[in-house]
Amino acid sequence: MSIVVVGMSHKTAPLSIREKICFSSDDLNSFQELRKIEGVEEGLILSTCNRVEICAVTKDSEQAKKNISNFMKDYHECGHLDFSSYLYCHEGKEAIHHTFRVASSLDSLVVGESQILGQVKEAYRTSHEAQALGPRLHRFFNRAFFVAKRVRTETAIGSQPISVGSVAVQLCQKIFKELANKNILLIGAGEMVETILEHLIQKKIHSFYIANRSEESVLQLEARFKHHDILVHYVPFQELDQWLFKMDVVLASTSSPQFILTRPLMEKAIGQRMQQPIFCIDISVPRNIDPGVHDIDNIYLYNIDDLQSIVQENIKHREQEALKAEQIVQEEVDKLYEKMRHRNTWQSARA
């Protein structure tokens, strides 16, 4: 038995490619299909805004890697596209090292960010619910969680939290030195919007517009921050056209597979604003804002890949802690791999 990882990330593929093969954690069928892939004994799908990858246990690594690659394309009806130049394929010790680094946020767009571990755990739970996991991947990912905990406990890599959400807020501040007098629209009410809201509140901003399909989700989000005395205006999706022209900043993060803000909608809004600029940041995968919006005069659109340069500025102070974290990961990789090699069986490689 061997372990393989096949996927693509922000390091190997642009957003326009990654969004074509992203999986939704709500789509149990995709996770259930893993066990039907020839050569795959156990499997797990990790799909975030920055990566899409499948980890599997197999008896035939070459067959599994090929079939997993085909599954990623065929499931999303992209069989006609050649993604080979964007994919990475890891096997054995290399796959262990990769997974431990991912769980420990060493392979993230924002090194040291805390969200990835929760996303890996969510992928673990969903794959378990879909009965795609077996005993080997159960033990393997529990070991990955242990390694991530060691990195958090024994290094200061996350001492000054940086996330994609915080970087998005930093970008807003670069555009507008003063945000308190700007109308800010958040699209979505999930974890990423919650992170953005938290960072905006830290900037002394207390009034927001939040657009979402469900008002209940917005009310729950507002309740989590009630001690900050914030004022939230709920905007139903079907009423966006009545509010967009009032907005200076729009930040979008939902799981919608379709554009929420289309080019005609934004052209109408900018016309109503008498060409006063609108700054949009779309950190959704797939994207929530039509990329063509960028071509409209006085609308400035940034996506998650555009945040890279700001991220690089922010992580310089973490480099020393990242080196310590890499040492912990390598130590744990060597320990697990040696145990597997010595016993020559995944079944005995207990975490």
Q: Of 62-71, 228-237, 301-310, 327-336, where does mean pLDDT reach its minimum?
A: 301-310
What's the pLDDT score for residue 150?
96
Asked if residue 112 lies in contact with residue 152, where contact means CB atoms within 8 angstroms, the answer is no
Res 258: pLDDT: 92
pLDDT at residue 142 greater than cutoff 70: yes
Neighbouring C-beta atoms of residue 38, cutoff 10 Å: 13
**β-sheet bridge partners, residue 300:** 279
pLDDT of residue 344 exceeding 80: no
Q: Structural domain of residue 102, as residue ranges?
A: 2-159+316-343
Write the pLDDT tens digit of every residue in 288-342: 999 999 999 999 999 988 887 777 766 666 788 889 999 999 999 999 988 887 7
CA–CA separation, 351 and 339 (whole Å): 10
Active-site annotation, residues: 49
Question: How many angstroms separate the CA atoms of 52 and 72, rounded?
Answer: 9
In a domain, 348, yes or no: no
CATH number at residue 148: 3.30.460.30
Give the range among 4-18, 60-74, 298-312 with minimum mean pLDDT: 298-312
CB 34 within 8 A of CB 6: no
pLDDT band of 156, cuts 50, 70, 90? confident
Q: Which residue has the tokens 């999706």?
A: 237
Same domain, 124 and 179: no
Contact between 44 and 95 under an 8 Å Cβ cutoff? The reply is: no
Q: How much of the chain is in helix, strand and coil states, percent to nearest 5? A: 50, 15, 35
Same domain, 139 and 177: no
- Pick the residue with more confidence: 178 or 23? 23
**Contact status, residue 317 vs residue 158, Cβ threshold 8 Å:** no
In a domain, 350, yes or no: no
Helices (H), the chain: 15-18, 28-32, 61-75, 93-103, 115-129, 135-154, 164-175, 191-202, 215-224, 263-272, 308-314, 319-343
pLDDT, mean of residues 39-48: 95
Average pLDDT value for residue range 199-223? 91
Tokens for 22, please give them: 């992203």
pLDDT value of position 274: 87
Which residue has better confidence, 316 or 210? 210
Q: What percent of the chain has pLDDT over 90?
A: 70
State whether 286 and 146 are in the same domain.
Answer: no
Residue 351 CA to residue 82 CA, distance in Å, equals: 37
> In this structure, what are the phi and psi dihedrals at residue 67, rounded to the nearest 5 degrees?
-70, -35
Going by pLDDT thresholds of 50, 70 and 90, the confidence category of residue 1 is: confident
The CA distance from 88 to 137, in Å, is 20
Q: Do 133 and 210 share a domain, yes or no? A: no
**What's the mean per-residue pLDDT of the chain?**
90
Position 111 pLDDT exceeds 70: yes
pLDDT of residue 233 exceeding 90: yes
In a domain, 146, yes or no: yes
Say how many domains are in the chain: 2
